[in-house]
């Protein structure tokens, strides 16, 4: 397998290169924790939680944000930026 990959010019990509420059900016705004780790709610559409991740593609990065309703545990929104 290694010989065939070498003949085809295929190599594994390990990590990615960082661009030189300043990585930082303004500090983020911290919002109060209103749930206090109580994830069992008694009514729909009162508490939503989110998560953001990125997906690397050949053309760049896609950012995936998911919004979940805590009552039904269903996805409310899922935009890809």
- With a cut of 80, say whether residue 24 has pLDDT above it: no
Give the pLDDT band of residue 40 (cuts 50, 70, 90): confident
d(CA 79, CA 65): 6
Beta carbons within 8 Å of 45's beta carbon, 6+ residues apart: 69, 71
Residue 78 lies in a domain: yes
Q: In whole numbers, what is the pLDDT of the chain averaged over residues?
A: 83
Residue 64 lies in a domain: yes
Residue 65 lies in a domain: yes
Query: Which residue segment(s) compose the domain that 65 sits in?
Result: 41-81
- With a cut of 90, say whether residue 31 has pLDDT above it: no
pLDDT at 35: 84
Stated pTM of the model? 0.53
Residue 30 lies in a domain: no
Number of domains the chain contains: 1
pLDDT at 80: 65
Q: What percent of the chain is predicted at pLDDT more than 70?
A: 86
Residue 27 lies in a domain: no
| Secondary-structure percent of the chain, ordered helix, strand, coil, rounded to 5 | 10, 30, 60
Residue 54 lies in a domain: yes
Residue 80 lies in a domain: yes
Residue 7 lies in a domain: no
């Amino acid at each position: 397998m290694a010989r065939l990959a070498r003949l085809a010019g295929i190599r594994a990509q390990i990590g990615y290169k960082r661009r030189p420059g300043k990585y930082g900016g303004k500090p983020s705004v911290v919002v109060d924790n209103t749930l206090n780790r109580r994830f069992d709610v008694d009514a729909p559409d009162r508490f939503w939680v989110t998560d953001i991740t990125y997906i690397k593609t050949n053309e760049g990065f896609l950012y995936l944000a998911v919004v979940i309703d805590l009552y039904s545990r269903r996805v409310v929104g899922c935009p890809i930026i």
